[in-house]
Amino acid sequence: MTSDPSLSLSLSLSLSQCSAIEGVCPLSCDSADLNCFLVDNNGFILLSKEKNEVGRFLGEVDGSVMASLVKMGLYKKVSLFDYQAMCKNSHHHASSARPLLSPFYCIAALIRWLFSNALMFLLDFNLCGLWHSDYFVDAKAGYHTSHKQKKMDAYQPCDTAYPGFMYDSSVREANSLIKCGRCQKMFVVQQIPDSNLVLVVTQADCDCSRQYGPMPLEPKEIKYILHLQHRCQTHGKTPG
């Protein structure tokens, strides 16, 4: 593990402020048996023994601890929305609500598809070499390759939702055990006074990756199928 003097000083000062309810805090981040993380109120790591963990979400590094913190109520899960996102436009992910819109949608889509393919063909195909059969084969192959590449790189505006986490500032410190098969992982959480930072100390020799996977903050596209279906049904009703 890499050692950072500023990290050791910050963590030592944090640990020296342990509550006196159970006596002097026996933990030391210099120990190889412990993992120490200084995270913010959103769960992102600011200091760690491993430099490659800095800036990452705690749930990605140790899903077992983050899941336990959420279950204990120390971190509250919230939903965040991005209304200016870009999503991949693939026919495999086409909305099932499209057939509900109108038969003219399919006709318009077919015309656009034929026009775009014809335009792509003219751009990728050199008309001056039309009578050369060898070039015809090369141009056709190049057209298919470039067309497939453009389909793979196609994006469209969309709305996405992704998880976020907020620390409960009313909780000063907490500790618990995580049962992970043959071992139990101990962890201690302590809020740094007068800051939005939290010190998380975990047991390093207990691997819980089989029982608890990582918690990535991956955005998911919002599908408005029910909204479109309701709108189409409303427009499709005949006045009684």
Domains of the chain with CATH codes: 5-82+161-221 (3.30.450), 90-153 (no CATH)
State residue 179's pLDDT score. 92
In the structure, what pLDDT confidence band is assigned to residue 143 with cuts at 50, 70 and 90?
very low
Q: Which long-range contacts (CB under 8 A, 24 or more apart) does 1-8 make?
A: 1/32, 1/49, 1/50, 2/49, 2/50, 2/51, 3/49, 4/47, 4/49, 4/51, 6/47, 7/38, 7/47, 7/48, 7/49
For 230, the enclosing helix (H) or strand (E) is: helix 225-236
pLDDT > 90 in the chain, percent: 38
User: What is the rounded average pLDDT of the residues 129-133?
Assistant: 47
Give the residue from 180, 207, 201, 181 showing the smallest Cα distance to 189.
Answer: 201
Task: State mean pLDDT over 38-45.
Answer: 96
